[in-house]
Amino acid sequence: MLIATAIDSAELSIIQRSLLRERFPPFLLPLLDGRDPRGVQSAQVSIVTLEENGILCGIALAVLYPALRYADLLMIDCWSINELPLLQLQLLLEKLRLELISHRCLTLNHTYREGGAFLALLAEDSKAHKWDVPYLLTVEIHFESNNFNPPWLITQKILPDNVTLMLWEEAAEELKVGLRYRFEAANLLLALSPFASNDPIEPLNSLLLLKDNEICGWMICHRSTINCIRYSSFYVEHSDRSLALPLLAAAIRLQQRSAIPLATAIVNVEQVERSWLQFAKKRLIPYASKIDKTFATACIL
């Protein structure tokens, strides 16, 4: 028998926590302690568990922002082999919906991977509830470092005499502080910020691009796993866009000289300029080992 229950994080047993830690990506682990992964103090965590004969077999996790009266569905998953996954997901979502409504939540947002189980759930749930038409949010480009050899990477472009590349970890602290002030003053998108992530910046190939000793671009990387580097923040000023390819190539070459075999680059389709989308389509996507697309939608509760 399947039972969906709304619980507080403190009610999770040691065995349940251990199981969930194995299934959760690191970003979501604060949820087990009732904390918003994004660090918003006023946020409330909603947890719905699904049990089959007393054994945990599914979970739905959402973060509610009471002042704004909306919630983000961060995870919905099931792993029992005795029932259809769609039925389990429906039970989880419906219980979560009732829990959020009881806290006066009006809207539920969710992002999901193309081809995942949520797509089937969305199609079924849309028969009874109003979901927005999904839109493409991000494109995640995966490649294997040693097998990534497009022509533009093989042909090394010589930089002008007044242009230099510097490892992030070797840059003076006052240079980084100045960059933070400049970034905030320029009112650029947060997705482009070198300081957007709380994760440690990857020292191997995070680079600053300098022209006449002034920062005009950067490639900031983070470690997704011990074997994978994430190319997180890539920016070059408009007047120096011709330097974008040499900057990207330099970061990739540094990884190729290491023992780290995998890499990902995430393009935020909603936020970046169209020219950067064209850059990714031309320079990265044709040589990828795999492409993952993330879509976003929302439901009026």
Residue 121 has pLDDT above 70, yes or no: yes
Domain ranges in the chain are 2-131, 141-294
**Average pLDDT score over the chain:** 90
CB 2 within 8 A of CB 91: yes
DSSP string covering 235-292, please? EE-GGGGGGHHHHHHHHHHHHHTSS--EEEEEEETTTS-HHHHHHHHHHTGGG-SEEE
Positive/negative CA dihedral, 285, 266, 19, 8: negative
- With vertex at residue 64, the alpha carbon angle to CA 62 and CA 69, rounded to the nearest 5 degrees, is 135
Hey, how many other C-beta atoms are within 10 angstroms of the C-beta on 109? 16
* Among candidate residues 122, 107, 21, the one with its CA nearest the CA of residue 64: 107
Backbone angles phi, psi at 111, to 5 degrees: -115, 145
Q: How far is CA 278 from CA 25, 239, 284, in A?
A: 30, 18, 10
CATH, domain 141-294, list 3.40.50.300, 3.40.630.30, 3.40.50.1970, 3.20.20.210: 3.40.630.30
In the chain, the N- to C-terminal Cα span, in Å, equals: 27
The reply to whether domains 2-131 and 141-294 share a CATH topology is yes
pLDDT band at 102 (very low <50, low <70, confident <90, very high): very high
pLDDT of residue 182: 78
112: left (phi over 0), alpha (psi -120 to 50) or beta: beta
Fold of 2-131: Aminopeptidase (3.40.630)
pTM: 0.80
pLDDT tens, residue by residue, 36-80: 888 888 899 999 999 988 888 889 999 999 999 999 999 999 887
pLDDT band at 82 (very low <50, low <70, confident <90, very high): low
pLDDT of residue 193: 82
